[in-house]
Structure 1
């Protein structure tokens, strides 16, 4: 658990092994101070389910408007960073769906990018509102997570065989879309459609994001070692064509330049307190 202050707590919660293909983790945060705390949610290419307890938390949308989180919302595949605000006495619990788990829960529904929606609207019933009321009676966060895991069992559908193949594809020398299409006697276009249907993003999108993640890890490693940045090494090792492409990715995902992100990392990694 990471504790930022005496009045603000936030930490990740691991899930049992049998749920690793459903949720990557849960995240909990609470603000017991007298001031609103603003945090940035970095892109994850995951769909998330947010439960709000206490004072309503707020999301800053891409259109620069604030959206209140009432009891629970679904937020579609997180492609870009955005800010969220935790007013005094607010508390959130976030479930992060892994791979195709959102599709296995809700089926072939369409979510607008970064646009919150009440999950009950996807199922045409009030089961998530009912779940919120049950969770609100539970004081312990770990017990809340266990309740959610049990709740999800009857809703979770078996994984499609194409989704299974896409998740487990490891042959780096081959194009996964073309290889899986050939193995299943389907067109590459059909596999592309299934990829977007099951995961919420295309193979091209996730490849770009994974390249960006590699650059992020590279920069964080530089910051942790207090080393001087070598942008040409980052460009070459992470698969970028040039510095312009690297900068474009950082601005697309974070609205920051790589230099500004590095400065941010150096600041938070500083031992001065």
Structure 2
């Protein structure tokens, strides 16, 4: 997501002590005199957005608009949405990793409807946090402050969560394998997956297939190669081209060819 006119937009890595909590932070500001709109790819991550300047706006595929005043939670992000940075707007985004949102809040969100984090805990902790962050002019200092803020609230990973996170064998059903390993029912493992991550294994597998297609398209762009859709269908595990088109329309509300055309206006919250 590189645009010189935005003046500043970059990712911020997190210390190793927090690598199971946040994938990264993201900062962007608009120092121009006109609004800048981007499309955020689905990431299946939950994000916490702090706004420190002019109000920013989110727009869903259903054309619902939301003003971001101080802070808002959104996720797990299962479909693309547009966001607009108005002139003099400035955002800092924390990207929760895997089960980290559950470890922090004690429950997971199950759709992308925006919510103020204080509404989840019935306290004004995050409003007070924003009041402290606005006093810090340096983005790195703000990130460090957020990391210190979250330390006392983080719960340890459960045994089931650790197994779900570490399960890498794509040729075996992780639900079935973990259930057998710890002598629990598959239904119980499925319920824990949904409760802790906010999405099912089936949803995650479908998204990973879509992400493979996106990465292949981006690779073709970088290598200045013509995109061969049949090759993408074969490499990424699609039955046919219509299934590929269906996934692009589901996640982004556009066709693969339109994604290719407008790719420069689209960014991902996944860490490169």
1:238 deviation in Å? 0.5
Q: Give the structure, 1 or 2, with the largest relative contact order (CA under 8 Å, sep 6 or more).
A: 2
User: Residue deviations 1:237-260, cap 9 Å, x none?
Assistant: 110001110000111111121112
- Can you give the 5+ residue segments of structure 1 that lack an aligned partner in the other structure? 269-273
**1:144 maps to which residue?**
142
**Pair 24,45 (structure 1): closer, same or farther in 2 beyond 3 Å:** same
Q: Is the 8 Å Cα contact of residues 223 and 266 (structure 1) preserved in structure 2?
A: no
The answer as to 2:73 corresponding to 1:81 is: no
**1:158 maps to which residue?**
156
Q: Is the 8 Å Cα contact of residues 26 and 93 (structure 2) preserved in structure 1?
A: yes
User: TM-score, normalised to structure 2's length?
Assistant: 0.94
For 1:51, what is the secondary structure of its paired residue?
strand
Q: Spell out the pairing of 1:10-21 with structure 2 (5 A cutoff).
A: 10-21=9-20
For 1:40, what is the secondary structure of its paired residue?
strand
Q: Is the 8 Å Cα contact of residues 38 and 265 (structure 2) preserved in structure 1?
A: no
For 1:39, what is the secondary structure of its paired residue?
strand
User: Residue deviations 1:127-160, cap 9 Å, x none?
Assistant: 1111000000000001100000000000101111
Distance 1:85 1:171 in 2: 39
User: Residue deviations 1:92-117, cap 9 Å, x none?
Assistant: 000000000000011125x3522111
1:6 deviation in Å? 4.8
**Pair 141,102 (structure 1): closer, same or farther in 2 beyond 3 Å:** same
Q: Is the 8 Å Cα contact of residues 74 and 113 (structure 2) preserved in structure 1?
A: yes
The answer as to 2:8 corresponding to 1:9 is: yes
User: TM-score, normalised to structure 1's length?
Assistant: 0.93
- Can you give the 5+ residue segments of structure 2 that lack an aligned partner in the other structure? 267-272
Q: Spell out the pairing of 1:113-192 with structure 2 (5 A cutoff).
A: 113-192=111-190
**Pair 201,7 (structure 1): closer, same or farther in 2 beyond 3 Å:** closer
For 1:182, what is the secondary structure of its paired residue?
helix
For 1:10, what is the secondary structure of its paired residue?
strand
Distance 2:62 2:226 in 1: 36
Distance 2:60 2:228 in 1: 34
Distance 1:267 1:189 in 2: 41
Q: Is the 8 Å Cα contact of residues 60 and 82 (structure 1) preserved in structure 2?
A: yes
**2:32 maps to which residue?**
33
Distance 1:170 1:97 in 2: 20
Q: Spell out the pairing of 1:40-79 with structure 2 (5 A cutoff).
A: 40-79=39-78
**1:108 maps to which residue?**
107
Distance 1:171 1:58 in 2: 40
Q: Is the 8 Å Cα contact of residues 101 and 107 (structure 2) preserved in structure 1?
A: no
Provide the alpha-carbon RMSD of the alignment: 1.6
Q: Spell out the pairing of 1:245-264 with structure 2 (5 A cutoff).
A: 245-264=243-262
For 1:190, what is the secondary structure of its paired residue?
helix
For 2:25, what is the secondary structure of its paired residue?
strand
Write out the 4+ residue segments of structure 1 that deviate beyond 6 Å after TM superposition: none
The answer as to 2:227 corresponding to 1:229 is: yes
For 1:114, what is the secondary structure of its paired residue?
coil
Q: How many residues align?
A: 266
